[in-house]
Amino acid sequence: MRRLDNCPAPAKLNLFLHVTGRRADGYHLLQTAFQLIDRCDYLDVEVREDGQICRTNDIEGVPADSDLIVRAARLLQTHTGCQLGANLTLRKHLPMGGGVGGGSSDAATTLLALNHLWETGLQREELMRLALQLGADVPFFLFGENAFAEGVGEELQALTTPDVWFVVLEPGVQVPTPAIFSAKELTRDTKPVRIADFPGDAKQTWKNDLQTVACALFPQVDAAIQWLSQYGDAKMTGSGSCVFCAFVEESAAEQVLKQVPDRWVSWKAKALSRHPMAQKLGSKNIWLEA
Ligand code: C5P
């Protein structure tokens, strides 16, 4: 039987996020640093001969038909004319509406696993172009390594980032991304930065432009940032709600985790330099061929 079990869909953190403009279609131009971390959802994928795409398990708040993993599978099927189908079983660990890219990463892992199992043979660039139809963050998860992103998030360049540990707090609220981007208070004209200056330039403020708006709309996010700020430079990721702080030593991250009040779900995560599906797919992966 052709199947791949426990395919990792890693979370991302936005180490900074600047909004530099807005396109005519309403999407925002931005600059961000995407960091892969080792906290993951896990996907089991089994090939079906009858062409149907089914999600086999219930996920609260996400009807199977509109799930991005099902849409991703259908998109690849239509694009390639593949006659095969799939059963998809998704184990969620990443919060929804948390700004850690869970839904986008699940969709990307679906594309990676099915491109392999269906032997549709799409290369990295083509998969990334296809993925953009599913969401602005999805191409990053097919890029395969940490990245500096421009455009709406789809123009990617490899970025070397520090090998650190993160403490992540879930403030207990789901933030709707469109509400943050459409807020009239959002700063949309931040002066563009240069990738070469990241993260060494102390004069630059490597902040998340979406944070002020999210904190005003969701005080829970503000409270989590205030608390975590006692230990370092605490920031929100994406459009929220999760907030994070980096530590060089794992033991320092563990110490902070012990202090987190019960009202917040919290975890530590390690910075990754490569997408964990590279190992899963072995010698036949899109990143080796790129
Ligand atoms: O692309 P994705 O579906 O993740 O985006 C969700 C929403 O976030 C979009 O509909 C848009 O309102 C907003 N967005 C934006 N600019 C971006 C990314 C997202 O305005 N670069």
Give the ipTM: 0.97
| H helical segments located in the chain | 68-80, 102-117, 124-131, 138-143, 177-181, 211-217, 219-228, 250-259, 277-281, 286-289
User: Would you state the pLDDT for residue 174?
Assistant: 97
Distance 137 CA to ligand 1 centre (A): 9
Beta bridge partners of 244: 168, 235
Find out whether the beta carbon of 30 lies less than 6 Å from any atom of ligand 1: yes
pLDDT over 70 for what percent of the chain?
Answer: 99
- Rounded to whole angstroms, the Cα distance separating 249 from 232 reads 13
Find out whether the beta carbon of 152 lies less than 6 Å from any atom of ligand 1: yes
User: Would you state the pLDDT for residue 1?
Assistant: 63
Query: Is pLDDT at 290 greater than 60 in this prediction?
Result: no
Catalytic residue list contains 12 = yes
State residue 93 phi and psi, 5-degree precision. Answer: -125, -20
Residue 282 pLDDT class (50, 70, 90 cuts): confident
**Residue 203, Cβ density class (10 Å: 0-12 exposed, 13-18 middle, ≥19 buried):** exposed
Start-end of CATH 3.30.230.10 domains in the chain: 3-160
Start-end of CATH 3.30.70.890 domains in the chain: 165-270
For residue 25, give the DSSP letter.
T
Look over the chain and give the mean of its residue pLDDT values, rounded to a whole number. Answer: 96
Query: Is pLDDT at 289 greater than 70 in this prediction?
Result: no
Query: Is pLDDT at 203 greater than 90 in this prediction?
Result: no
Q: 18-39, pLDDT tens digit by residue?
A: 999 999 999 999 999 999 999 9
Distance 239 CA to ligand 1 centre (A): 10
Classify 3-160 by CATH class.
alpha beta
Q: 120-153, pLDDT tens digit by residue?
A: 999 999 999 999 999 999 999 999 999 999 999 9
Closest ligand 1 atom to the C-alpha of 153? 21
Residue with token string 């006659």: 83
Sign of CA dihedral 233, 235, 151, 69: positive
Query: Is pLDDT at 225 greater than 70 in this prediction?
Result: yes
Catalytic residue list contains 137 = yes
- Rounded to whole angstroms, the Cα distance separating 148 from 3 reads 33
Residue with token string 């993925």: 131
Closest ligand 1 atom to the C-alpha of 178? 12
- Averaged pLDDT for residues 64-87: 97
User: Would you state the pLDDT for residue 201?
Assistant: 75
Catalytic residue (one of 67, 137, 209, 222) = 137
Angle CA(95)–CA(137)–CA(247) in degrees, nearest 5? 60
- Rounded to whole angstroms, the Cα distance separating 13 from 62 reads 22
Distance 42 CA to ligand 1 centre (A): 24
Taking CA atoms only, the protein residue closest to ligand 1 atom 12 is: 178
State residue 65 phi and psi, 5-degree precision. Answer: -70, -30
Which CATH code is given to the segment(s) 165-270?
A: 3.30.70.890
